Amino acid sequence: MSSYDSLAEAELLASGGAAGAAAAAAAAAEDKAAVAAAAAEAHKAQRGFIMPYYRLLRDNRGFRRLYAASFVSTFGDWFNYIASLTLITSLATSRGTAISIYLVLRRFPPLVFVPLVGYLADSFDRRLLMIVSDLIRIVVVAVLLVLAMIHKASLLWLIYICVFLHFSFAALFDPARAALVPQLVSADSLLTANVLDGSTRYALLFVGSSVGGIVTSFFGIQVDYVLDGVTFLLSSYLIWRLWVEVPLEGDPGYVALADSGDNTAEASLSSSDVEINLGGRSKDSAASNDGGDAVILGISSDEVEEQEHAAFEYSPSSEVELMPFDTDVESGKRPFDSDTSVLGKIKGGFAFWLRNPYILALTCIRSLVAIGGGSNLLNILFAEEVYRFSFDHDGSLTLGIMYAVVGMGAFVGPNLVKRFTPPHDQAREVAFIGAMVLMNIGSYVTASVPSFYVFLLSNLVRVAGGSTIMTMGSALLQTKVPNEVRGRVFAIDISLFTLSYTTVVVLVGQAIDHLHWSPFKVQLYISFAYTGMFLLCAPYLKFFSHRDRPIR
């Protein structure tokens, strides 16, 4: 071959290589543009106050079942709350002590059983745990119904035992439910699901207690207990339907599905007539038709095994990519599950929580919202002693207006943040910290400006910030924490919230009764507590979320 031919061949290869590189670059740019367009479309689909929730409930059968079960179960809890409180105060000779014991028994189980509850939520099918929790509470409610019919003061101790058992199994239901949501909802829809769930719970806080009081007044506490048992029966039935209709990973008939246009996917397997409704989270690309129908992904067994050892399932639009877990080569286990004994898995859950500053900060900041329990207690004093209308003889109308504003703030805050926050972790963290600032501002204004209308506005701002922290923090935890340890983390999160709430309520009561502080002074010290937790925890979110730091 001549030198001329060699030169020509080299030029040809070079031009071919350049063309190939150019084609690859063009394809990469096209893919990037497509991903960006898909992310923008996903964000657009999540905007709005009503339609995102409607689409999520309409198209995602699994979440629809879980949401309905949680709704009726929480609604029934308020029937039980009113009935049990009425029954206990009617039998006790010392009403104040009886109410205190009842409130302690309500808050005590999440603190005592957090290690066991977290272990169960990560070791057994969460749907089964929720069904068992509902069925056992039906039995407990039946016993309470019998005790209400007997109505003897000598059996008050047995009523206390039933209350303790009731909330012990409720402590099992909530972490299992929170850890189950990411298995049913795609990453881009997690915030929508959490805002819907949080808004509903706040609404039930006022509607459920009101309906329970009305039922008790007109029909008696026995009817309350019957209705409570019916709600638990309905909840267990809905969870059973979820179990039958929506296979999760590890169930027979499970197939990984891609996200559809509305971030949910629903398909049917003709070979087995088993309907599947799951949000897909695979990193593999998948085609979808113009109608947004889900397409089953082709994933090899090697790819599935590789994905099972990933740190967690990322949102496709997430800008935060943390490194994978360290995995023991011989055992194939991650550090928090290297010891498979009950005590070992409990210790592994706490070790995971303590070794990850980002997760630790999220849970601590969410517990900060519980300090608002002191502010809610102060609302009663503000209504009776400070802002009571002249024609409102007992302050009940004033308090009702205050709680209406609280409910409005709880609904508006998360919805506004969801509407205007881009669907990636960095933006959500900024919104999270912004909500902390709002909560601080609202609390300080409440403590310093003695005007009823300013009080209402500052309360709205405070609660809007707090409810945003709860919903946004829940979505971030569900995204960051891997499925294998998610139940233990949420059990710790709920126990921290309960501990903070109980502590601040006791301290507020002591400050008012024994130190004789005014509601304004108590609110000011609550504001100091908000600020202290903010300064302590907020830096961890920014400093640790964008490092290449493994979640272990």
Q: Where are the domains of the chain?
A: 47-252, 339-547
Query: Bridge partners of 296?
Result: 257
**What is the pLDDT at residue 218?**
83
When mean pLDDT is compared across 210-214, 275-279, 429-433, the lowest value belongs to: 275-279
**What is the pLDDT at residue 186?**
85
- Quick check: 339 pLDDT over 90? no
Contact 119/345 with Cβ under 8 angstroms?
yes
pLDDT tens digits, one per residue of 234-276: 999 999 998 888 877 666 555 554 443 333 334 333 333 333 3
Could you please state the CATH topology (level 3) that the domain comprising 339-547 is classified under.
Growth Hormone; Chain: A; (1.20.1250)
pLDDT tens digits, one per residue of 371-383: 877 787 788 788 8
**What is the pLDDT at residue 524?**
92
pLDDT band at 458 (very low <50, low <70, confident <90, very high): very high
Q: Which tokens in the block code for residue 342? A: 């009950």
Contact 362/479 with Cβ under 8 angstroms?
no
Contact 147/204 with Cβ under 8 angstroms?
no
When mean pLDDT is compared across 42-51, 113-122, 175-184, 396-405, the lowest value belongs to: 42-51
Q: Express as a percent the part of the chain with pLDDT over 90.
A: 16
When mean pLDDT is compared across 68-82, 299-313, 489-503, 517-531, the lowest value belongs to: 299-313
- Quick check: 296 pLDDT over 80? no
Mean pLDDT along residues 19-45: 51
C-alpha span between 381 and 286 (Å, rounded): 58
Q: Do domains 47-252 and 339-547 have the same CATH topology?
A: yes
C-alpha span between 495 and 385 (Å, rounded): 33
- Quick check: 122 pLDDT over 60? yes
Whether the CA torsion 50, 52, 55, 61 is positive or negative: it is negative
**What is the pLDDT at residue 504?**
84
pTM for this prediction: 0.70
DSSP state of 323: P
Q: Where are the alpha helices (DSSP H) in 313-424?
A: 342-355, 357-368, 372-381, 396-420
- Quick check: 63 pLDDT over 80? yes
Give the three-class secondary structure for 275. strand
Mean pLDDT along residues 127-152: 93
pLDDT, greater one: 66 or 315: 66
**What is the pLDDT at residue 543?**
56
- Quick check: 531 pLDDT over 90? no
**What is the pLDDT at residue 1?**
52
**What is the pLDDT at residue 216?**
80
**What is the pLDDT at residue 552?**
52
- Give the CATH number of domain 47-252: 1.20.1250.20
Tell me which H or E stretch contains 524.
helix 519-545
C-alpha span between 409 and 446 (Å, rounded): 15
- Quick check: 229 pLDDT over 90? yes
